[in-house]
Chains A and B, each alone.
Chain A
Amino acid sequence: MRILVFFFLVAGILFGCAEPGLQDKPISFKQPHYFPPINFPEGNEPTQFRFELGKKLFYEKQLSKNEDQSCASCHRLPAAFTDGRAVSSFHENEFARNAPTLGNLAWSPYFMSEGGVPTLELQALGPIHEKHELALNMEGVIDRLKSRGNYSALSQAAYGRELDAFVITRALACFERALISGDSKFDRYYFLKSNDYSELEKRGMELFFSERTQCGSCHALPFFTDYQFYSLGLEDADIGLERRTYSAADRGKFKTPTLRNIELTAPYMHNGSMSSLEEVVSFYNNGGGTRSTKDSRVKALNFSKEEEAALVAFLKTLTDWNFVQHEKFLSAEED
């Protein structure tokens, strides 16, 4: 009897911190062969519970001060993780911007329109603290969540530690890295050699990648962005990259946005000032805006009406309908 007591006592001391029940396992993200391999950060390789915890946090309204907003409020799956609004701040301010799509973040070398955030993990801290977004803070989030639902158990299972800033940032990043979009009509035609592509779409594609338009030099394959910073000449109060570099030469420059799923992410531009793809193509056709920092490639193109229509038709082939209807990315409430 005494031996049994002794055994359980020692076992209790040695294993007292173990979380019973949940056993995590590595997972892989399905990605097209024409995308490069993902370099996962050390310690945040994807697992089942990291993904599940990240998704749960992404849709969690307790992350906001008033318990009424989540990441998904501005990043809605049917709109390719945008929100259809011109700018997404909940309050007027000069740096309110159009919500970016979240597809293919796993390959982005930095985040935000000025590129001031080096990792997806760090990016997750911004909206939680930003007073114009979720407007809470990490301490408040942890206080709310640690005794709520199965957050603590998921945290232990996914990262082997209590729910904290480390866990929350990594889990959100893990979920966001899973948002891979590369199965559009264009992909099937261009990479997989499908025949399903109209003459108008082909004409638009030729124009897009031509020397004449040079659209593809910034919106480069395979992600339709080169992740660099340019000005289209748009004039407004937002100084863009200059805010980070202090250089007037960078005024009005913003990171090239991806064009994948562009049909679903209206309105367009950093300030949401253009409501349709037709308006965007017309803007380029007329030579862009007037700001002095405008990139030299943005100049009048003299498109015919048919060419404008062809470019719009091509852009609409970049929609990945499987991505925006993928139930794996929906919260349990929206499944």
Chain B
Amino acid sequence: MKMKIVNNYFFVVLLSVFFMACGDDNPATPETKVHLKFIPTFNGQPLSIDSVYTNAFGQQLRVENIQFYLSNIYTHNGSDSTLLKQAFLFTLLEPQTLSLNVSPQTFSSLSFGVGVPGSLNKNVDPSQYANSNPLSVQGSNGMFWYWNTGYIFVKVEGRYELTGSPNAPLMDSYAFHLGDDPLYRVLHFNTGNVSLAEGDSRTFNIEVAIDSVFNRPVDSIDLSIDNLTHTTSNFPLAERVTNNFVSAFHLQ
């Protein structure tokens, strides 16, 4: 009888080992986090897909879609750099926050690429990634070119109207699909000295001033001429819009 009881206990313990072997035995440790909050604006106000804006040429436009990859997000402390995230795909019609678990650290600047770096772009097979990865076939959500393989770094799409008449419907479409290795851009931001101990978190607000895509002192986009590029179909325009787009990022 005693032997049977021992056997029963042994049986239960053995099963418990099987069922709970993958459990997390570590007590919860406070997470250290960096939050990057991206805030889309137009002329200093929150971007609205319902709003009609006017560009430098008096043309009316609406913004209907903004998607872009951020990649190689780093913090920097002198010559030391820490990778926080390899790639992330944003749809940015309203503020979005990217929350990153980090190790306790001190840094004075952060950087990220707009687009996908060459090592992850050309000759890379997106079907190798799990669906949850933004670089995967499904995770890329239409941001991959299949005829000339590589990621679409940035999409800005919407409608426009040229007469400037206040009640005119915005019937025509513009689309800027920007990609290819020469258009990859890396942005650096000074953060001041930031020291994160275990359990600390810090939020950085980054304004993305979408009006810069259309209106820049150095290069405004005349939608009557320049309203479509899939990069290869009009590389000079793609380069101009890329330069305008990356100028839109401001650390507040």
Tell me the A residues contacting B by CB distance below 8 Å. 2, 6, 9-10, 13, 95, 112, 114, 116-119, 121-122, 125-126, 129-130, 137-139, 164-166, 168-170, 243-244, 246
Distance (whole angstroms) from the CB of B7 to the closest CB of chain A: 7
Distance (whole angstroms) from the CB of A131 to the closest CB of chain B: 11
Q: In the assembly, what is the distance between CA of A144 and CA of B126, in Å? A: 21
The answer to whether the Cβ of B9 comes within 8 Å of any Cβ in the partner chain is no
Question: Is the CB–CB distance between B232 and A122 below 8 Å?
Answer: no
* CB contact under 8 A between A116 and B125, given known A139-B138, A165-B138, A244-B232: no
The interface on chain B, measured as residues whose beta carbon lies within 8 A of the other chain's beta carbons, has a size of 23
Nearest B-chain residue to A6, judged by Cβ = B11
Q: In the assembly, what is the distance between CA of A6 and CA of B138, in Å? A: 42
Q: In the assembly, what is the distance between CA of A47 and CA of B129, in Å? A: 23
Question: Is the CB–CB distance between A117 and B127 below 8 Å?
Answer: no
Question: Is the CB–CB distance between B137 and A138 below 8 Å?
Answer: yes
Q: In the assembly, what is the distance between CA of A295 and CA of B251, in Å? A: 53
Question: Is the CB–CB distance between A121 and B127 below 8 Å?
Answer: yes
Q: In the assembly, what is the distance between CA of A129 and CA of B126, in Å? A: 13
The answer to whether the Cβ of B15 comes within 8 Å of any Cβ in the partner chain is yes
Question: Is the CB–CB distance between A118 and B149 below 8 Å?
Answer: yes
- The DSSP consensus for interface residues of chain A is helix
Question: Is the CB–CB distance between B149 and A116 below 8 Å?
Answer: yes
Question: Is the CB–CB distance between A129 and B146 below 8 Å?
Answer: yes
In the complex, chain B residues 5-21 whose Cβ is within 8 Å of any chain A Cβ: 7, 11, 14-15, 18
The answer to whether the Cβ of B119 comes within 8 Å of any Cβ in the partner chain is no
Which 5 residue pairs across A and B have the least CB separation, nearest first? A116-B148, A126-B146, A165-B127, A165-B137, A166-B127
Distance (whole angstroms) from the CB of B9 to the closest CB of chain A: 13
The answer to whether the Cβ of B123 comes within 8 Å of any Cβ in the partner chain is yes
User: Of the candidates A10, A117, A118, which one forms a contact with B147 in the assembled complex, judged by CB atoms under 8 Å apart?
Assistant: A117
The answer to whether the Cβ of B131 comes within 8 Å of any Cβ in the partner chain is yes
Question: Is the CB–CB distance between B235 and A246 below 8 Å?
Answer: yes
Q: In the assembly, what is the distance between CA of A264 and CA of B103, in Å? A: 64
User: Of the candidates B127, B148, B235, which one forms a contact with A125 in the assembled complex, judged by CB atoms under 8 Å apart?
Assistant: B127
User: Of the candidates B11, B126, B148, B149, which one forms a contact with A165 in the assembled complex, judged by CB atoms under 8 Å apart?
Assistant: B126
Distance (whole angstroms) from the CB of A48 to the closest CB of chain B: 22
Question: Is the CB–CB distance between B136 and A165 below 8 Å?
Answer: yes
The answer to whether the Cβ of B233 comes within 8 Å of any Cβ in the partner chain is yes
Question: Is the CB–CB distance between A126 and B147 below 8 Å?
Answer: yes
Distance (whole angstroms) from the CB of A209 to the closest CB of chain B: 34
Q: In the assembly, what is the distance between CA of A78 and CA of B138, in Å? A: 35
Distance (whole angstroms) from the CB of A249 to the closest CB of chain B: 15
Chain B residues near A13 (CB, 8 Å)? 18
Nearest B-chain residue to A167, judged by Cβ = B127
Nearest B-chain residue to A13, judged by Cβ = B18
Q: In the assembly, what is the distance between CA of A33 and CA of B123, in Å? A: 31
| Sample of 8 more A-B contacts, CB < 8 Å, known A9-B15, A138-B137, A138-B138 | A6-B11, A117-B148, A119-B125, A125-B126, A126-B147, A130-B146, A165-B126, A165-B137
